[in-house]
Every structure is written in structure tokens, then in C-alpha cells.
Structure 1
Amino acid sequence: MFIKHLEKHTDAFYLCALGDDKTWVSSCLRGSFKYSPLNRLTFKNFYRYYYSLKYVVSPAYAYLDRYAVKKAKAIIAGLDDYFLAYKDLPNVRLIRLPISRDHFVQPKYKDLEKEPLVIFHAWQKGKELKKGNDILHEAALSAVRKYGEKKIKYVIASGLPYEEYLKAYNDCDIYLDQVYSYDGGVTAALGMAAGKVVFSGYELFAEYSGKAPNSIKNVGVNASSNLAQLEESLFYIIENTHVLDDLKHKAYFYALNNYESIMIAEKYIDVWTEGEK
């Protein structure tokens, strides 16, 4: 009914693929990805995935999914995960998330002989199974135990208002986001825009170098649910300051070229303009 209401007031209807829906949840359950936020789903904990599973068990959501896809002049995915889920449908585009220019901050380079390296963990309470925060937490604690609290400062942010959250990661060097996504999402984009080394989804990116662990990509770290791999990448970056600084630099400029809000707005306008022809 809402879509029909929109059709009365606009000549073009577009579908934003950026969140749980039948197409994406079905792709996860079919094993279309090597891993996904539904990886830890079991019979015992299925109730904690109700928000996602309702899209595949309800005939109403299945109908809505087909109806929206049929009506849309184009499908605009905001992350690699959603683009891959929809890629076999016609007229699917990938336009990344918009980050305001206000949130872009040149990377800060520290003398780690004089001040501690700060690990910031963006922990969304209640989403541990989908994000893997518990695994990231164990990796961070391992780093603190290995190098000591004088060298490593570990900060956890959870349940903060948005403005406080933005301030909380300002001084960090390494930004822990999630382990079960192919792409990063808003929190990873914010971290990159602030010149941080982000542990998140970089599945489709190239490696940083032949010497570094394979999970270290050219603009961030492709976080794994494998604790040993997480620790390997984290320890390598801590012990190789030049890698830390280089990744900060590359992350910032990647975000500037791929997430800056005015540029993203222009991409949306281009798609809408094409739809009017």
C-alpha cells in the first residue's frame, strides 16, 4: 500500500538494497557467501535471529519482495553484500554509503615509543552473533596481554549517543567493527574517513603485501571469525608501525574517493536522471 501511495506522487520508484530483506537473507541461508551474519544460526538460538528469519518464513514478505523488485526502475545496493545478493536481477547498481565531509579527518601518526596504541571496539550489544564482537574482544584482550597496558589501550564503546560515539574513536589507531560481512557498513566507513585501521569486511579487496598476513588488505583488515587469524593480523600491525601508518593513509583516501557524501549524492542523481529518460 505504501509503494502504491508513492507511485501516485512520483514518476520513478527505486529500491535501496541496504538491510535485511528476503533476497539478502535467502542468499545467506543458501550459502551464496563464504560467510555471513547468519553463520552462527542454530536451532537453539534461532529466536535471536527472528528479525532476519521473518523475511523468509512469511509469505507476505516474499510477496512484498517480488512486488518491490518488479516496480523498481533500478535497485541500488549500498554494500558489496547486498550487491552480490541482487546481482542476477536487472539494473542493479552499487552506490556506497554517504559520509559527511565533516567526519573526514586526516590520519594521526603517533610515536608509539612515547604513547600507547589505541584499539577502539564499536560493540553493538545484542548483535554479537551477527557481528562477532565477542571474537574481536578476545583478539583485543590477547593484544593487551601480549604487549601490556602501557603499550596498548583498549576502549569499548557501546550504547553511546551518535555524537558521543563519533568523539569516542577520535584518538584510536585500530578500529574493530565486525567479522561476518563482505563489506564494512557505516561504522567501518566512519573509521576509514577518520584515518583508522579498520577490522571489518574487505573480502573483495587485494592484499596489502606478500609479507603481511593475507587478511591485511590494501585499505584495512578483512576481519575473520578465526581468532588465531585475527590475532595474527592485529599483532603484525602493532609490531610494524610502517604498516599501521600506511593503512591509515590508504583508508582515509579510499573513504574520500568512495564515501564522500556530495559525490554519493551525485551518483544517486545520475541514476534517477537515467530513470527519467
Structure 2
Amino acid sequence: MKILLVGEYSRLHNSLKEGLQALGHEVILVSTGDHFKKFPSDILLKRRFNSGITKKFKVGIYKIFGIDITSIVLKKQFFSHKEKFKNFDVVQLINESPFSIAANEEKEIISFLRKHNKKLFLLSCGADYSSIKFAFEKKLRYSIFNPLFDGKVSEKDFAPALKYLNPDFKALHNFIFKKMDGVIASDLDYHIPLKGQEKYRGLIPNPINTSLLEQPPFSIDEKIIIFHGINRVNYFKKGNDYFEAALSKIEKKYASKVEIITVESLPYSEYISAYNSAHILLDQVFSYDQGYNALEAMAKGKVVFTGAETEFLECYNLKENEVCINALPDLEYLFQKLEELILNPKQLIEISNNARKFIEREHNYISVAEKYLETWKL
């Protein structure tokens, strides 16, 4: 098959591409590299007017004319390569807004892709209309909107997520769902809102290329190292404030037993190397399942605090704390879980080994690619 993957978040499409290529398929990936993360693409579209004086110019143009020049420039880049985006058996979008530009520009690009290729599939991955609406209407026990509901942040701070509820992005959602052949969820956080929808093709676990992720020896000779990576833009949505508060307590009580590493907004290649020495990695609080960063860390044998709710345990037939630690928006709970691991380091070794085996069993990039191929044929 000839496959076009459109957009990239957290290396998902790169790993899927590697799995598909291992199975003998021709794959092209086009994306913007996902902002500061700088993921590779076969065709890399560059975002313009996003910093310094040029950003101020862009903001001024938008305020006066209501025009987003970043979106227009990126759309022109896409169409300058338009002959390369035709005659594919399958086109898959990473998200309803795969290039993170204005809805009208996304619609023009997706219209072109629909017209010139055989099948169009959508991934529910990252914020989209279905998941944001479901969470905003408080249909989950907790969600990324807890900080907003609790008054920690304003709606302006949540504008990147709330934009999916605006009329133009709702219209984009409706357009894609009418034109596409199916939608696939990348984990349970997107599966739950999509259940029962007509074109929903089910959950396919994130593909992880473990051949690129070695599991270093897990030894605890001196201090237990805890890694906390912060994306400042998503600080409250990821629950970083809960993690920082818990780490503050841990540091005061167990200064002689732990070392804490904190980094902010690193490119992907630097981020994944920065936590190599860590035993514990703090990922995110407001999720039911693991996102891509957590899965890659688990593949490297890290004990990850992330989403591991009852729904996840039931889906994969696991016990609590077997492959990772369920992170909750509760300071005392997080402190107690960290304390338990610090005082019982043998648990760290057991969870580390289980985590790697789980990724190899459920997230192998080649077997996951096979699941995509089966789904695309429907």
C-alpha cells in the first residue's frame, strides 16, 4: 500500500511509519515537526511568524483584519508540494487540525487530500472536538479541565483546547466526519468519548519502536532519581503543579535518598536523553491511559506516574501498579506513592521490568502497524 501520514504528535506517526515500512509499504510523512519538539518528516512544513518581531506583526494583522498569516503561509507551503500528496491508498490525519492552523485553511488542505486519494482516516489523538466536548461537559471523573473548573486558570489560558468548541472548528469536525472513512482512537482518553459513533473503528494502541529505545540497567546504588519534564504551555493541563508540590515534600523529607531532575520544553531528542538516568518519571495527572511520552519512558524501564485508571487496567488485564503508577490530582496521594517507592526500591525494579514487557507485548510498532492495515481495509 501507499500511505500518507499527515501531522505529527509525540512521534506517533514516525513510529507507525517505521512499522509500516518494515511490513513492505511505501509511507510518506508530512508535518510541521510539532513545534519545539522538532520531529522529523519526509516533507517538513515550517511555521512562520511565531516569535520576536514577526509574531507581533502577525498579532497586529490578526487584530486588524482577522487573518492568521502563519496559517496562510503554511497552507501555501503545503500546496507547493501538492503533486506529492496525490494517489495514495490511505491518508491518515493525526488530528482534526493536523497542522494546528486556522480551521478554514485546514479544511482546504483536507478537501484536497480527500479529493485526490482513495481513503481518508482520522486519528483521535490530542485535543479534538469529541474529546474536548466530552471533558468540558464533565462526563469524566476528572479531566484536563479540572484546573479551569477549580479556578486555577482562565478560559484564555485554555484557548488552545477550547478552540475546538468554536463554531469554525466544530464545522471542521463535522466536515471531516462526513468525508472520512473512519476514525481511530490512540488511547482510552479518546476511545471513551467516541464509543457508539457511527464511523468509529476502535482503539489501536500507540506504536512504540522499542528497537530505538534501550532499557538501561536498573540499579539503585545511591539515590533514587526522579525526573519531571515540564511543558510550560501545558503546565496545569498536565498537572505539573501537583507533581511540583509532591516533589517539594519529598525533597524536604528524603533529601539524602533522592535526586530530582526538572527540565522544561526540550526538543524531543534532548528530552528523551535527559531522563536516561532516572528511576521514576512524572508524566501527567489528568488522563486515564498513557500518552506517548509515558509509553516511551516505560519502554526504557522507567517507573512512570501517568494515567492508569480502572478502564486501562481492565482493558489490558493488569493489576494496579503493575506496569506504572496511576497519577491522580491529589497532593497527598502522589506524595504517598512516591514515598512508598523510595522506601521499597525493590518495587521499582519489579515495575520497571513489567513496564518494558508490557510495551513489547501491547505496543510493538510492527504488530500495531498490522492493526492499522486491517482497519484501513474495512
Give your verdict on TM over 0.5: yes
- Given the alignment, which residue of 290, 301, 323 partners 1:219? 323
Q: Supply the distance in 2 between the matched residues of 1:132 and 1:158 (Cα, whole angstroms).
A: 14
In the other structure, the counterpart of 1:151 is 257
In the other structure, the counterpart of 2:168 is 60
Q: Supply the distance in 1 between the matched residues of 2:193 and 2:139 (Cα, whole angstroms).
A: 8
Partner amino acid for 1:258?
Answer: E
- Given the alignment, which residue of 101, 105, 120 partners 1:13? 120
Residue 115 of structure 1 pairs with residue 219 of structure 2? no
In the other structure, the counterpart of 1:69 is 177
Q: Supply the distance in 2 between the matched residues of 1:234 and 1:264 (Cα, whole angstroms).
A: 32
In the other structure, the counterpart of 2:267 is 161
More deviation in 245-254 or 39-48?
39-48
Q: Supply the distance in 2 between the matched residues of 1:267 and 1:21 (Cα, whole angstroms).
A: 23
Structure 1 position 123, deviation (Å): 1.1
Structure 1 position 264, deviation (Å): 2.0
Q: Supply the distance in 1 between the matched residues of 2:323 and 2:345 (Cα, whole angstroms).
A: 15
Q: Supply the distance in 2 between the matched residues of 1:106 and 1:54 (Cα, whole angstroms).
A: 39
More deviation in 36-45 or 156-165?
36-45
Structure 1 position 146, deviation (Å): 1.5
In the other structure, the counterpart of 1:262 is 366
1:114-173 alpha-carbon deviations (Å, 9 max, x no partner): 31110001211121110111110121222222122x320100121222211111111110
Partner amino acid for 1:175?
Answer: L
SS of aligned partner of 1:41: helix
Structure 1 position 225, deviation (Å): 0.9
Structure 1 position 244, deviation (Å): 1.1
In the other structure, the counterpart of 1:244 is 348
Residue 104 of structure 1 pairs with residue 213 of structure 2? yes
Q: CA 1:36–1:103 in 2, change beyond 3 Å: closer, same or farther?
A: farther
SS of aligned partner of 1:198: strand
Structure 1 position 229, deviation (Å): 0.5
Partner amino acid for 1:248?
Answer: S
TM-score (norm 1): 0.89
Contact persistence 1:81–1:182 (CA under 8 A)? yes
Q: Supply the distance in 2 between the matched residues of 1:13 and 1:78 (Cα, whole angstroms).
A: 16
Structure 1 position 262, deviation (Å): 1.9
Q: Supply the distance in 1 between the matched residues of 2:267 and 2:114 (Cα, whole angstroms).
A: 36
1:4-45 alpha-carbon deviations (Å, 9 max, x no partner): 211222221111101212111100011121111111115761
Q: Supply the distance in 1 between the matched residues of 2:312 and 2:173 (Cα, whole angstroms).
A: 30
Contact persistence 2:257–2:342 (CA under 8 A)? no
Q: Supply the distance in 2 between the matched residues of 1:108 and 1:143 (Cα, whole angstroms).
A: 25
RCO (CA 8 Å, sep 6+): is it higher in 1 or 2?
A: 1
Instruction: Tell which structure's C-alpha radius of gyration is larger.
Output: 2
In the other structure, the counterpart of 1:201 is 307
SS of aligned partner of 2:113: helix
Residue 38 of structure 1 pairs with residue 142 of structure 2? no
Q: Supply the distance in 2 between the matched residues of 1:13 and 1:163 (Cα, whole angstroms).
A: 31
TM-score (norm 2): 0.66
SS of aligned partner of 1:191: helix
Residue 127 of structure 1 pairs with residue 234 of structure 2? yes
Structure 1 position 175, deviation (Å): 0.5
- Given the alignment, which residue of 178, 181, 201 partners 1:92? 201
Unaligned runs of 5+ in 1: 208-214
Partner amino acid for 1:5?
Answer: F
SS of aligned partner of 1:47: coil
More deviation in 67-76 or 247-256?
67-76
Q: CA 1:77–1:38 in 2, change beyond 3 Å: closer, same or farther?
A: same
Contact persistence 1:103–1:194 (CA under 8 A)? no
Structure 1 position 107, deviation (Å): 5.5
Q: Supply the distance in 1 between the matched residues of 2:160 and 2:289 (Cα, whole angstroms).
A: 21
In the other structure, the counterpart of 1:175 is 281
In the other structure, the counterpart of 2:33 is none
Unaligned runs of 5+ in 2: 1-107
Q: Supply the distance in 2 between the matched residues of 1:34 and 1:52 (Cα, whole angstroms).
A: 19
SS of aligned partner of 2:328: coil
Q: CA 1:97–1:17 in 2, change beyond 3 Å: closer, same or farther?
A: same
Q: Supply the distance in 1 between the matched residues of 2:177 and 2:232 (Cα, whole angstroms).
A: 33
Structure 1 position 108, deviation (Å): 2.8
Residue 79 of structure 1 pairs with residue 191 of structure 2? no
In the other structure, the counterpart of 1:51 is 160
Contact persistence 1:74–1:93 (CA under 8 A)? no
Q: Name the % identity.
A: 33
Structure 1 position 216, deviation (Å): 5.0
More deviation in 230-239 or 89-98?
89-98
Structure 1 position 249, deviation (Å): 0.9
Q: Supply the distance in 1 between the matched residues of 2:264 and 2:339 (Cα, whole angstroms).
A: 24
